[in-house]
Amino acid sequence: MRAVPAGVRSTRPRFPALVFAAALVILVAPRLAVAEPTVPCEAAEDDVVEIDGMVDDWTGVKPTRGGGVDKDASFDLRCLVTATTAWLVVDVRDERVTRGSKADDHVTISLGTGKPLVLTLYPGVDRQAPKRTLGGKAVPKWLVIEDSLQPAGWSVELAVPLAKLPGWSASAAGVALAATLADGDIPRGTTIEHTVEWRGALAFAGKADLLTGFLAAARLPASAVTLDVQAELDPTVAGKERVVVAGDRVALLTDQFAFVQLPVARALDVLKVELIDLRGDGSRVIAARLRQRGGGAVRDVLMLWGASRGQLEPLGAVELGVERGAQRLVSTWKLAAGKPWAKRTGGARKVIEVRAQPAEGWDEDSYQEAIAHDAESIHLPWDDDRIGGVLWLGASGRLESAPIKR
């Protein structure tokens, strides 16, 4: 931190303090709130189901019906989930299972949120072998699929690793699911006779809609959400975490949720929140650019957050702007490779470079703002020894800095 030059009066306004320890943090047990329609994924042990296409393992598991009571074109969906795998069975009612034509019977399953897994599954009938594709290509080995003819139709089972399921995370209450049955009926036919569609979600047992719970605790509407992403943020928690920004709150969703209220007067003063790879290892930290007002002045601050054990942790902050009327100081910042700064940082892979820009309405004699004590203070374009600063995460996990010399 740089001291105020002798003889210069400090007129620094009272901005909302960046007191990390006093930031509002709430950790709440979740409430179950998954939108209908759903296929409940009941919790199970690893050896409960054998993927063989049969349905005898699924006795007692609640079905979700597609196509109503039609005996010739309807199906039941059932799901079980372990710590690592989602199991799904589609039990199709079909009075005539048809293959070998231009209108073969098949089921299309779309699994996951964002970029879903799209499976097209044709049953094996007589001399016609099963046909299975994922996104139009051969099914990879990590997907286990088997089908079987049944007295009233046919069935198909599949086991999907949760880690491969788009949208899954430890905090996910469920993921999107769509199933479409195409029923040909006529041997050597050219037209699909029936199409039955079902759309909804897999609902994981014991999981809550944490986003709904967070918004309720923060007293914010769903329309307040400006960012909702998944990333590797917390090294103490397996898999990716969900980061949600709503209004002036930043939330971390794992198997529970925790959030901080950012030190701004209004939500519009949260200028931007993004996730950056400051460690250089593919993990992320939260970078929030905020605007604070007080005493007739305005300042912009970049605050950084990490996570540990399901809680958000402050990493540090740096001033990027100070403004009073027509007078203005601004610094630019960017994420950069750490190699050029290795001697100063101890070998950090990534750094933040902050560089002072020309002042507007202020000079060395007229600038009377005191340095910040809750953040790396704004860099001054007339400093004799520096033009900015380089910042990195030190061995303690907190933000450290060194000057960018002239």
User: The domain that contains 66 carries what CATH number?
Assistant: 2.60.40.1190
Residues with Cβ < 8 Å from 199, sequence gap 6 or more?
37, 176, 177, 178
pLDDT at 36: 54
pLDDT at 389: 96
Is 114 found in the same domain as 55? yes
Label residue 13 by pLDDT band (50, 70, 90).
low
Is 386 found in the same domain as 329? yes
Under 8 Å between Cβ of 75 and 179: yes
Label residue 1 by pLDDT band (50, 70, 90).
very low
pLDDT at 9: 37
Domain stop point among 204, 224, 239: 204
Domain stop point among 183, 204, 225: 204
pLDDT at 208: 64
Lookup: tokens for 269: 């003063």
Q: Average pLDDT, stretch 56-84?
A: 93
Is 284 found in the same domain as 175? no
d(CA 34, CA 6): 62
Which candidate, 159, 38, 150, places its Cα nearest to that of 89?
A: 159
Domain stop point among 173, 204, 235: 204
- The reply to whether 7 falls in a domain is no
- Using the predicted structure, report yes or no on whether residue 30 has a pLDDT greater than 50: no
Is 221 found in the same domain as 182? no
Instruction: Count how many domains the chain has.
Output: 2
- Using the predicted structure, report yes or no on whether residue 37 has a pLDDT greater than 90: no
Residues in a beta bridge with 137: 134
Is 253 found in the same domain as 149? no
Lookup: tokens for 379: 């860099």
Task: Report which of residues 171 and 322 the model is more confident about.
Answer: 322
pLDDT at 19: 46
- Using the predicted structure, report yes or no on whether residue 225 has a pLDDT greater than 50: yes
Q: Is the peptide bond before 30 cis (omega within 30 degrees of 0)?
A: no
pLDDT at 376: 94
Under 8 Å between Cβ of 324 and 307: no
For 335, 338, 400, the CA distances from 346, given in Å and listed in that order, are: 17, 10, 11
pLDDT at 186: 78
- Please state which of the ranges 143-157, 167-181, 219-233, 314-328 shows the lowest mean pLDDT: 167-181
For 58, 351, 364, 371, 372, the CA distances from 4, given in Å and listed in that order, are: 74, 27, 11, 7, 10
Label residue 5 by pLDDT band (50, 70, 90).
very low
- The reply to whether 15 falls in a domain is no
Q: List, for residues 38-51, the tens digit of each pLDDT value.
A: 999 999 998 888 99
Question: Average pLDDT of the chain?
Answer: 88
Q: Average pLDDT, stretch 173-179?
A: 90
In percent, the amount of the chain with pLDDT more than 90 equals 66
Query: Going by DSSP bridges, is the β-strand pair 38-43/194-204 parallel, antiparallel, or unpaired?
Result: parallel
Q: List, for residues 283-322, the tens digit of each pLDDT value.
A: 999 999 999 998 889 999 999 999 998 899 999 999 999 9
- The reply to whether 307 falls in a domain is yes
Hey, how many other C-beta atoms are within 10 angstroms of the C-beta on 125? 17
pLDDT at 65: 95
Is 324 found in the same domain as 177? no
Q: Average pLDDT, stretch 133-140?
A: 96
pLDDT at 255: 75
pLDDT at 305: 95
Domain range for 344 is: 20-29+208-405
What pTM was estimated for this model as a whole?
0.66
In percent, the amount of the chain with pLDDT more than 70 equals 90
- The reply to whether 11 falls in a domain is no
Backbone angles phi, psi at 344, to 5 degrees: -85, -30
Q: List, for residues 58-67, the tens digit of each pLDDT value.
A: 999 999 999 9
- The reply to whether 8 falls in a domain is no
